[in-house]
Amino acid sequence: GQDSGQSRVEADLEVIGDRLRGLAADGTPMVMICGMYQMFGHAFITHEGLELPGLGILDVTTRGQSTRMIGGIVLDTDLGQVVGFENHSGATVLGASQQPFGRVVVGNGNNGNDRTEGARTHNVIGTYLHGPLLPANPKVADALIAAAAERATARPFEPGEIDDTVADEARTRQVRRLLAKRS
């Protein structure tokens, strides 16, 4: 959500924070996008200087800024190349041991400087990639489904035959278009 929404959900997150931290530590897959990504970190400091405490699930801290980072983005991740659309004014910095979700090929990512995007701890992904993250990147969706299935059944997940041709073609076209704009 928007920065203004974070202050409205802060009290609710405090109430369920221990449960969310427990679920994350236990391997529950979660995808947190934009404002909720920021709230899953240690703190979000608004552009005006108000510090909203986060849940500390991800080792990140975010500061609001006046400049927005908007546009198509391409990442290299452990799950392959990922595309999306970023739209945020938060500048997020990863803690020393925090792994990013991916490395920026095109776009701004966490802060426009360090070429990282998002954060990933266990099965929790925090990211600035707005929709359609999962439909455009089926390997990300498949990894989350596999983690959920394995957690629920305590058995290795064996997916059936999946045809991702259309999603792969759409992602490839978007990557080509964004790389061409960069040149």
Catalytic residues: 34, 130
SS (H, E, C) 127-177: ECEECCHHHHCHHHHHHHHHHHHHHHHCCCCCCCCCCCHHHHHHHHHHHHH
Instruction: Please give the C-alpha separations between residue 120 and each of 49, 51, 171, in angstroms, as whole numbers.
Output: 26, 23, 21
